[in-house]
Structure 1
Amino acid sequence: MSNTGVVFPTIDLGEVSDEILNQKLREAGERLGCFRVINHGVSLSLMSEMKKTVMDLFERPYEVKVRNTDVLPGSGYRFRPSETNPNYEALGLLDLASPQALNTFGDQLDASAEQRFLSFFSCLVSKWYGTLIYVLIIFREIMLKYAEAIHGLAKDLSRRLAESYGLADTTNFFKSWPIQFSINKYHFKPETVGKVGVQAHTDFGFLTILQDDENVGGFEAMDPSSGTFFPLSPLTNSLAINLGDMATIWSNGRLGSVKHRVRCEAKTRFSIVSFLLGPVDTDLEAPSEFVDDEHPRLYKPISNKGIRSLRVTTNLIDGEALKHISYE
């Protein structure tokens, strides 16, 4: 069931008051587990360049795309036809913040060498005709700029959420967490338009930054108070933020892990998704500031690898896996 009475909260990160901004982020995180941000520091030109790059990558031959292998399950190339989504594809890498991972991603897809040639060729054509033409920026440069901007935004949002609860010295706490990166292409069949193409689920990480298709809708989030879904309408130069299972564990249940899904649309839809996961080698648990006599600890400590494995073994992807690590 869909509900048009609830809308994605839109939060202006250019708010002059840190206290007011942090409170808005916290309220949206507790009430819905999701919100949309504007004035987020990722330039519109960079977002547009990234979208063009994504569309180009999906045009590469299948034998090139399959070189994008998994580091962890779901982190590489995926082609998973289904009844509603017969042409779904995804490419990805494990850590957007790692220059080495970005280089490997480019090497796998032959992106950098080809883009360098096109960039050089375009410059020659420009000089020959004496006109200004579009010059392709090399793949690695676009990815590095995008990675830096998204990593900075993820750290800033996490820090602000922590500060809204009175936690201090959190900058380094989130700094080392990997950011799994996924680009998706949805192309639904005409007869399935309006149906659910991607089933409702939560994300297992801490928070997700979604650059949705500015021309095609379909993304919906669930209002936890009513169980109904509401749409994320396309809005240029905005980014959607979803909180995941790790945020619920870290906040001792205060922040929601939003259930969301994708409804079939008539046009091809692209999405660019960055998942701030959680600690790699250590377990995550709620800081002591979240725990007292009135708020006993809800969840057992667990790592990013542990929550991912738990969701797979229980086949619970909608937040219900958290019951398996609950103290209650």
Structure 2
Amino acid sequence: MSLNTDVAFVQEDKDSGSFSQKPHRSSLRPVPNVQELVRNDPLQVPKRYIRNEEDMPKEADICHHLSSEIPIIDVSLLSKGDNEELRKLDLACKEWGFFVMINHGVETEVMQGIKDAADKFFELPIEEKNFIAVPSAQRQGYGFNQAISEEKILDWSDRILLGLYPYRHRKPEVWPPTPLKEAIEIYGSEVRHVAEELLRSLSLIMGMEKDVLLELHQELAQFLSVAYYPSCSMPDKVLGLTPHSDKASITILMQDDGLTGLQLKHEGKWVPVKPIPNSLVVNVGDAIEIWSNGMYKSIEHRVVTNESKARLSYASFFAPHEDAEIEPFDQMVLNSPESIQIYKKVKYGEYIKEGISKKKFYEKEQIEFAKIGS
């Protein structure tokens, strides 16, 4: 999840349903459209995208052989309360913070429908896509707004970010035209059912009744990011997405088939998450890490680029209501080493705003705010 997505989870303006962060305009520069940069000059990579050498992937730090060890969870078994599959889910959240879901219930036609519609949208001329460009001081829509500081190294990507649920988060004026609009509605609704089932299973493995986590969310906020990662003539110099952990409860990601870009951090190494047809990838977010007293980890992840082909990804973020208070469950504290509580009670909206104000968007910086004694 990026800065733009984090801001969208906080609602301060009750009329507009968005959180308005007033930037210092003197330190900001417009953000170019990466897809247009590549269209105009495939060899051009502006300085604002070039990373320091120490920030770039090194082959010695990438464990390709661990890709096959990322846990695979069968959602159809979870929904039946299968004890073995629940045990696998528990281990996946503890040891990886990432897992792949199969038999999740989202129809192949629905998944392919949003992929086809997104492909058509990103093929449109920039003038047509800009009809739903992100307005000033907002984060929803196509592309990024202008609130990006001059010193920030930019990600090699463009995206659409939309609030889906609850309806008050929606900004109809920045929704894309049909067929993508209809495909998002259908896919968003289907993947929401999967998220609800997953949260019920997480409640069970935390030792609670299955609906506890859903009820604690008050509302299950849902945002969708459709990210476009263009090919890059210098893939060893840029990143499609800066390393970070997600600030929500869970993220459900659909990848392009046959093209690997996502990498997760596991025991200090980076592991490519290879696409499995008709699967969905899940990662634990900061909210679940706090509720679990650190037993389930929100894991750093990043996106790398390639020289030959663009790729798309579809990330659905599910988060608590901004007024929801989150703190470790008693039983998770008791099961922790020496039964010590690591995280304090925080209001979710305050947690997000703290990250914004301190600019703690990347790696695992922000969750330090929720630790006792911070």
Change (3 A) 1:207 1:73: farther
TM-score by length of 1: 0.81
Change (3 A) 1:85 1:259: closer
RMSD, matched Cα:
2.8
SS at structure 2 position matched to 1:318: coil
Contact 1:33 1:255 in 2 (8 A): yes
Q: Choose which of 292, 302, 308 in structure 2 pairs with 1:261.
A: 302
Change (3 A) 1:166 1:109: closer
Contact 1:283 1:301 in 2 (8 A): yes
In 1, the alpha carbon distance for the partners of 2:205 and 2:109 equals: 31
What is the letter of the counterpart of residue 352 of structure 2? R
CA deviation string 1:243-279 (max 9, x = no partner): 1111111111110011101111231010111011222
2:39 corresponds to:
none
Alignment pair present for 1:322 and 2:322: no
1:14 corresponds to:
76
In 2, the alpha carbon distance for the partners of 1:99 and 1:156 equals: 21
Contact 2:253 2:313 in 1 (8 A): yes
1:2 corresponds to:
62
State the 1:4 CA deviation: 2.2
1:75 corresponds to:
140
What is the letter of the counterpart of residue 97 of structure 2? G
2:55 corresponds to:
none
What is the letter of the counterpart of residue 256 of structure 2? D
In 1, the alpha carbon distance for the partners of 2:261 and 2:94 equals: 24
In 2, the alpha carbon distance for the partners of 1:161 and 1:249 equals: 13
Q: Choose which of 151, 157, 162 in structure 2 pairs with 1:93.
A: 162
1:237 corresponds to:
278
State the 1:321 CA deviation: 2.0
1:45 corresponds to:
109
Alignment pair present for 1:111 and 2:177: yes
TM-score by length of 2: 0.71
State the 1:92 CA deviation: 1.3
Identity of aligned residues (%): 25
Contact 1:194 1:263 in 2 (8 A): no
Poorly superposed stretches of 4+, deviation over 6 Å: 80-84
In 2, the alpha carbon distance for the partners of 1:109 and 1:167 equals: 38
In 1, the alpha carbon distance for the partners of 2:176 and 2:186 equals: 19
Change (3 A) 1:213 1:257: same
1:56 corresponds to:
120
In 2, the alpha carbon distance for the partners of 1:57 and 1:199 equals: 25
SS at structure 2 position matched to 1:240: strand
Change (3 A) 1:83 1:36: same
What is the letter of the counterpart of residue 12 of structure 1? D
Contact 1:217 1:265 in 2 (8 A): no
What is the letter of the counterpart of residue 311 of structure 2? R
SS at structure 2 position matched to 1:275: strand
> How many residues were matched structurally?
297
> Please, which runs of 5 or more residues in structure 1 have no aligned partner?
116-138
Change (3 A) 1:78 1:255: same
SS at structure 2 position matched to 1:6: helix
Alignment pair present for 1:285 and 2:327: yes
CA deviation string 1:112-154 (max 9, x = no partner): 4xx5xxxxxxxxxxxxxxxxxxxxxxx5543222122111111
CA deviation string 1:220-256 (max 9, x = no partner): 0011xx3001111121101110111111111111100
SS at structure 2 position matched to 1:209: strand
What is the letter of the counterpart of residue 11 of structure 1? I
CA deviation string 1:65-115 (max 9, x = no partner): 4434369854332249998865x2111112x2345656x44x534614xx5
Stretch deviating more after TM superposition (37-46 or 51-60): 51-60
1:304 corresponds to:
348
In 1, the alpha carbon distance for the partners of 2:223 and 2:136 equals: 11
Alignment pair present for 1:35 and 2:136: no
> Please, which runs of 5 or more residues in structure 2 have no aligned partner?
1-60
State the 1:26 CA deviation: 1.2
In 1, the alpha carbon distance for the partners of 2:299 and 2:177 equals: 35
In 2, the alpha carbon distance for the partners of 1:194 and 1:49 equals: 33
Change (3 A) 1:301 1:57: farther
In 2, the alpha carbon distance for the partners of 1:164 and 1:261 equals: 28
State the 1:288 CA deviation: 2.7
State the 1:309 CA deviation: 2.1
Q: Choose which of 219, 226, 231 in structure 2 pairs with 1:176.
A: 219
Stretch deviating more after TM superposition (12-21 or 177-186): 12-21
Alignment pair present for 1:188 and 2:236: no
Contact 1:97 1:148 in 2 (8 A): no
